[in-house]
Structure 1
Amino acid sequence: MGLTYFLVLMVSAIIVTSLLMWISEKVISITSLQKISPILKTAGSLVFAIVILSALFYVLEKPSAMYMILISGAIIGYNRYWFGHFSVED
């Protein structure tokens, strides 16, 4: 695997994981009856995105793509936790 191929896979994995996390975070915000902390929202949306994408790539029999999704999920989770990029409360 070349460096360019790896970087393209990582960027696309980060974009897809971020999009799924954003969608699931909005669903969590809409459906929750009480106020949820940003850390729980981030963890819940990250778990949702990783489960959906892992199931998809398991069915497609692409284990290398599953590893990219797990790595990108770790990068996004670390970034949102460490740098405080939590979504703004309405």
Structure 2
Amino acid sequence: MSEHAIEFLRGWIGEKVHCQSQHKIDQQAETLARECAAKAAEVGIPLEDIQEEVGDIQELIASRLEEAAEADEHQQAAGKAAK
């Protein structure tokens, strides 16, 4: 994957992928994957270039959403324990 495509993907995920409730992750990942593909096309990055490196973009985004949700749960639990 080109350096341009890598930087695009990192920036886009950092901007768009935020904590979601666990039950909405699949739906949110599907929506974000479509948005990412459209934005990549706008800046001249073929989706194939991204998928060549990371595989299924929707699965990657779902994974990042799950990580964010788990981190938020741990942070909330730590906050409650500190009280």
Fold shared per TM-score above 0.5? no
Give the number of the structure with larger relative contact order, counting CA–CA contacts within 8 Å between residues 6 or more apart.
2
Q: What TM-score bracket applies, with the shorter chain setting the length?
A: 0.3 to 0.5
Higher helix share: 2
* TM-score, normalising length: structure 1: 0.41
Q: Please say which structure displays the higher CA radius of gyration.
A: 2
- Please report the TM-score for the alignment, with normalisation by the length of structure 2: 0.43
